[in-house]
Structure 1
């Protein structure tokens, strides 16, 4: 009975061609891919090429504002990106884990970010009215986990990463996956013994990021960046250049120095240094000396600062200060609020360090006035017996009458009248750099070292955090060498993110053309599409199936580069709509089985190239298999 059953099964299988792995062939006729012939309408906020093309090609569908469902083709692309990231993270010792999407507020309140991030958090409560949030990031959670398990330096270094969904309540979700409220991210968190070993880790991760973007095959730039709300003291951004980007990068063509506009340092060019500066027409005479000092300037900023620090042991307050900050710059130079904020944060941290050991400085910076319309009077603001910090940008040296020593005397006299402490700091860089400034990194300054501005999309960010979170959350270890008092040391941390879903959209923005998306071979949903020109021809269908099996089931290296990377377009309908769909979806290679195949035994291979006519060759079936294997292997090899 058993033999009869086997015999029947064998006869049933005869004539059925299967792939070597006995898996069904990938067929577009069986796939859920709701493409659209018409231009898909998007709201004005989402009117970018990546969003329109992903909708039209059936990669995504919108669920609600800033939240999207990933359909099969879109999900395959995200998984390709995730695989590249996963391999490179593991290559530097990263171990993958999964962290919860719903977090308790307890740790976030302890680090101060529950209030600091405010409306950006999706906050909720459970039935017991406990505060929770949807995870926008996981510094607190991962630090808490490691803190509970870490005891000795022998357990370090630790490198943990995850790839998952994150949530931020964007005020204005826009541009599809470029700025959504739900998104997919990779986060790597590192824990080291010392700032020296943490810096080595930082460099290793930067090397891994370099390989990730080179393997993906998209033009990118690495820029020095501000640490922002995450904290820390070393930070870089990774950008895809695109006209729809919200970031502005300043780059030196000579030495390749690149920095975000908010962080960039530019030297004032010679023609601006020697420019004769006219007196300020807005100057008004007033009885209030402080008002007069403000009115003398076109560019000024008035802000309030509060800072406090608590001890790492008993949580007692060891430092506290409330102060006013008054900043001045050249009339043709905008004041950079982030640079001012960073300077004042470091000033307060230095003051706190003089008072003893502290876990962190809770710091707030609130701009009050930045022009004469906002500004009413300094009297009420500066006469509150608060400390006053005065900052002058070095661009003021362009004024021939400017003297820092004279300003120090004026401020001291004015503040003595109201018995208010004042500190007039040395000249510094408190201005926003701009295109045409000279590169601060080059030793010789000429026209070739003038900074050039480009718009870009931020797709990754690296932070060397130091002890920003480990001190607050008591993540510490017993060191190699005993420390004074026999205590423990806080671990040195780093966090490193890549926006997976944003990167997918950014690749489209960077590489699309008028025909559609142009995917790099490494992350294309499928690397080869076999297009059957006339599915009514049984012979054409048989040839296409045979070609599919040869590509998908080739041994050795081709198994790696083409296994499950081929799809058959066997849909009913005309050749025109199929080839238009193939170009819109952006398969790197399209193999056409048509009349030439039936008459001459040759297939036509089209290679998709951004902004160019597709490169075409005609080859026999065997030649086509060898050609595709070689071309794809070459494209996947990072030069």
Structure 2
């Protein structure tokens, strides 16, 4: 039987409750009998959906735009619209919960940082053109911070002077800036982005490593709650510094990182640090001799790499990260290092304090072959040949390929996956505390620099990555924990507004049970707009609500709600009395 509508709502209609989908109704103008403070209605939210035709090969970012989550302001810069802001706020609350579990306090640091601080830590030149720089009216140089290690270290150094003040764990969620040369993939590589940064300060290395372990565990719990197939990879610390770091990746075809994982053991590493067992000698017949060229940032040294590679990989066979571990000053961004080197040689003079140098690096695939005199000929006065690591091991500097043997176990093979980096943890040691004077007194006359950690999560990047990873041909799909709304109720043509409101209330309040999590309240919204029933159903798929509840023909004839969950391929009719349990059961899987 169809539930009876209450008399105090009898004169209302869904059409009279709805506003245009392009104009929000102020809460103060909500019609009587429909308490705006208790019900979320799409007529009251500005949702600029519709009007954009889906492209043939639409990625997640395009779906975010078409569904009304965001709009581009300038290249690599975006405005977050109400739906997008709601997703971002839910993600921030999730992060807040897990940061509280590690005893972190939330702060808000200024987006403007002093260039003088960056000079003290020798990072100003390293970031180079990626920094947005500005001067105030007194010509004091500042920058828009892409990260806040210098500022937070300076702050803490003034407020904590004794080991008794430690440990300190401070985090913020705020806007960061990086002047990307080629912003791309929407929120995945933008010039203005939202990040969570946790900075930790400890008195000893042992305490700092314990903090690092606790934060890593919190990150795993956070990504588990998002129910994403993430990978945790050993990683390079890069420009941030430190000697221990891990990355949290989401496999994605639009990812810019390469992550290798073993199919037999637990080994996972970013391409920068990944190692594989040497390729077997039975492949030697298919290899060709190859010489790769590079140059150092100061243009004083030519780097050549000698190796044997498969013909199909001869264009770019080497792992530049492995070469940087041998020659830290390598500039991997130069397109034609050999031509640049020739100009260096021409400009070099006998009076120069430092003569140009050539370093020849010989990969283990080169075997027992010797470099001929013609190979070693150079216009430089100094030539160095490197054939092994400092530990005496043969060099392995070729890019790792799918199917290479794992170096950590005897039977596994490595799988190469494109991935998006969602989070990164760093043990910094004294990288920033020493140059910035962040010291604490352990006991009388004994002062030591603080041991630091930095732990980031790309908030806006997660939105873009999840959108791309879970989207299908119909639209977006959100994990329930960050979905703009967990459930949308869509009443069909002719359904009384009182019926729609009753279903909404029943879902929102649950069944009143305090003992079962299966029937707890959920975050629900009512689509009370004036558009047609088919339009609203298509729009719900585009927006990506985890669960859609339709009040259609079966509601009118039998009092049944149609429950749809696209990600779980569920479509079934449920009586109102069973609706909360059904919905919570589905949400628990999302």
Give the TM-score category using the shorter length. Answer: 0.7 to 0.9
1:82, 1:500 within 8 Å by CA — same for their partners in 2? yes
Task: Kindly state the Cα deviation for residue 324 of structure 1 after the two structures are TM-superposed.
Answer: 3.3
1:439, 1:450 within 8 Å by CA — same for their partners in 2? yes
Secondary structure of the structure 2 residue equivalent to 1:107 = helix
Tell me which of 529, 532, 541 is aligned to 2:491.
Answer: 532
1:603, 1:619 within 8 Å by CA — same for their partners in 2? yes
1:247, 1:260 within 8 Å by CA — same for their partners in 2? yes
Matches within 5 A, 1:222-371: 222-271=232-281, 274-275=284-285, 298-304=290-296, 324=301, 326-332=303-309, 334-345=317-328
2:362, 2:386 within 8 Å by CA — same for their partners in 1? no
Tell me which of 557, 560, 576 is aligned to 1:621.
Answer: 576
Change (3 A) 1:378 1:34: closer
Distance 1:367 1:545 in 2: 60
Change (3 A) 1:393 1:122: same
Aligned residue pair count: 543
Tell me which of 449, 458, 466 is aligned to 1:507.
Answer: 466
Distance 1:72 1:557 in 2: 34
Change (3 A) 1:135 1:378: closer
1:262, 1:432 within 8 Å by CA — same for their partners in 2? no
Paired residue for 1:567?
525
Paired residue for 2:19?
none
Secondary structure of the structure 1 residue equivalent to 2:475 = coil
Paired residue for 1:284?
none
Matches within 5 A, 1:177-192: 177-192=187-202
| Structure 2 residue 547 is the aligned partner of structure 1 residue 585 | no
Distance 2:419 2:381 in 1: 49
1:329, 1:335 within 8 Å by CA — same for their partners in 2? no
Using the TM superposition, name which of 377-386 and 590-599 deviates more: 377-386
Using the TM superposition, name which of 218-227 and 206-215 deviates more: 218-227
Distance 1:592 1:343 in 2: 63
| Structure 2 residue 585 is the aligned partner of structure 1 residue 635 | no
Change (3 A) 1:97 1:400: same
Distance 1:378 1:174 in 2: 34
Change (3 A) 1:451 1:374: farther
| Structure 2 residue 350 is the aligned partner of structure 1 residue 395 | no
Matches within 5 A, 1:60-459: 60-271=70-281, 274-275=284-285, 298-304=290-296, 324=301, 326-332=303-309, 334-345=317-328, 376=342, 385-386=354-355, 390=359, 392-396=361-365, 398-402=366-370, 424=386, 426=388, 427-442=394-409, 444-445=410-411, 449-459=412-422
The structure with the greater share of residues assigned to helix is 1
Distance 2:264 2:134 in 1: 51
Secondary structure of the structure 1 residue equivalent to 2:589 = helix
Deviations 1:565-623 (A, max 9, x none): 100011123211111111111111111122322221211111121xx7x4022122111
Name the TM-score, length of structure 2 as normaliser: 0.83
Distance 1:374 1:150 in 2: 49
Q: Name structure 1 gaps, 5 residues minimum.
A: 1-14, 281-297, 307-321, 346-362
Task: Kindly state the Cα deviation for residue 129 of structure 1 after the two structures are TM-superposed.
Answer: 1.6
Task: Kindly state the Cα deviation for residue 273 of structure 1 after the two structures are TM-superposed.
Answer: 6.1
Secondary structure of the structure 2 residue equivalent to 1:240 = strand
Secondary structure of the structure 2 residue equivalent to 1:144 = helix
Question: What is the CA RMSD across the aligned residues, in angstroms?
Answer: 3.3
Paired residue for 1:36?
50
Distance 1:418 1:592 in 2: 77
Distance 1:402 1:272 in 2: 21
Deviations 1:450-506 (A, max 9, x none): 2221111111111111111111111111125x6xxx341111111111111110111
Tell me which of 468, 472, 475 is aligned to 2:431.
Answer: 468
Q: Name structure 2 gaps, 5 residues minimum.
A: 1-30, 389-393
Name the TM-score, length of structure 1 as normaliser: 0.77
Task: Kindly state the Cα deviation for residue 425 of structure 1 after the two structures are TM-superposed.
Answer: 6.5
Distance 1:400 1:559 in 2: 67
